[in-house]
Amino acid sequence: MTIPHDNAIKKELLFLLASSPGGRLQVQKIYEKLARLHPELTEQEKYDRYRNSLSKWANSVQFARLHLVNEGMIYRAGAGPRAAYGEWIITEKGRKRAEHS
């Protein structure tokens, strides 16, 4: 299995959101953009269904997001400025961490 460690995904996710307009991005675009950073990911890891998730890759990204939500770095679903379904939004605390990483 070539899925990166949770800490690597968390760091990349924060940087990606911090560099996106408004600090927000659609979840499907997040999966795709982060996957491009990891050419070692197999097609199976990126696209084959895994449990209740889209794929092993999506599942790993979702867990990294959950950890960042619990740390106050990303808003919970439906929270944050102009929250929209399917968007993840970085908090000010998350933006500061991304700047210092």
Tens digit of pLDDT per residue, the chain (101 long)? 589 999 999 999 999 999 999 999 999 999 999 999 999 999 999 988 888 778 999 999 999 999 999 999 999 999 999 999 999 999 999 999 999 97
Q: Which alpha helices (DSSP H) does 1-83 contain, by range?
A: 6-18, 27-36, 43-47, 56-70
Domains, the chain, in order of start with CATH, read: 6-99 (1.10.10.2260)
Cα→Cα distances 62→75, 94, 100, Å: 13, 16, 23
CB 91 within 8 A of CB 80: yes
